[in-house]
Amino acid sequence: MDDEILYQGPGYTIARIHKPETMIPYGPSGARPDGTRNYGWVDLRGRPDLVSGIKEAADSTALQAVLRELAAPGSPILSSGCEHHAFDRGENDPSGFRWQSGAFVVTAFDDGRLNRSAENHIALAKEIWDNIAAPVTWRVPMQYELTIEPLKTFFGQSDCHCLMLKALGYGQSKDQANASMEAALHMLAASLREVQSKIAFQNAWHLTVSCLNPSCQQPIPIEIEPSAEGTMLVWEDLPTKLPIRCPSCGITGEYHPRQVRRGKAIPTQ
Ligand SMILES: [Zn+2]
């Protein structure tokens, strides 16, 4: 099947390719003809402190910021390979920009079941773009390419997908292009932080609210399940209001599960 463009607009493309190019994890390999190296997969899950040791991101603070968001404890998304480069496109490039800098990070869901459905990655890509798009004023020449790809294997499991996050920056000089790319990556990192608080990637979303009865205030656990196993539960799918009966005092209060930040639901007043 041919590669498909799923969504496209100013500043972004969400695409899907059908040929597997990579696997998670992957091992190290020798030096490439261009002198760069593949150092192999580093397990950053829950270890943002290890990001400073990632050689591919050593001279990009913004790429490190993206990796740190993905490595945050409790992050449902893990990172695989990453890289960044600047290219001289020549003086007469039709874009008007001589230099292009690009960075990519391969991501997948930590919960391998969610990687079986490309739809989960498409939904994730849309959430990531929606959160970048909102505050953007396009003064900085930059572009995002979010690509859903099949994986050769995910920890030995076949039939899995990954999401390649790519940020591109343009400029008349290499420094300008790098600065544009860094700006794009910082916005990507901010989006990833927001997205992680809006999407439940587990089989159920476990929330805790405090009882609204002032003389009780006991914590009440809530479990919200997606409609089908292995399906990502998106924030927008949550009910706006949820009546819950407190098991301690028996009083029913109305809660607002959409106002969720990393597992805490804020009750409606
Ligand atoms: Zn109560």
Domains of the chain, by residue range, sit at 4-199, 205-267
Place of tokens 């001589």: 98
Which residues hold their Cβ within 5 A of ligand 1, which is an ion? 211, 213, 216, 218, 246, 248-249
Asked which of 77-91, 141-155, 160-174, 224-238 is least confident by mean pLDDT, the reply is 224-238
For residue 238, the CA-to-ligand 1 centroid distance in Å is: 23
Place of tokens 């099947």: 1
φ/ψ of 4, rounded to 5, equals -125, 145
Strands of 252-261's sheet, edge to edge? 219-224, 205-210, 264-267, 252-261, 242-245
pTM of the model: 0.76
Whether the predicted pLDDT of 50 surpasses 90: yes
In angstroms, the CA 203 to CA 111 distance is 9
Cβ(177)–Cβ(101) below 8 Å: yes
For residue 244, the CA-to-ligand 1 centroid distance in Å is: 10
Whether the predicted pLDDT of 266 surpasses 70: no
Count of other CB atoms within 10 angstroms of residue 240: 9
Cβ(178)–Cβ(169) below 8 Å: yes
For residue 226, the CA-to-ligand 1 centroid distance in Å is: 26
For 21-37, the pLDDT digits (tens) are: 899 998 887 777 766 77
For 87-145, the pLDDT digits (tens) are: 999 988 888 899 999 999 999 998 888 898 888 899 899 889 988 875 555 667 899 99
Kindly state the DSSP code that residue 32 receives in the 8-state scheme: -
Question: In the chain, what are the helix, strand and coil shares in percent, each to the nearest 5?
Answer: 25, 40, 35
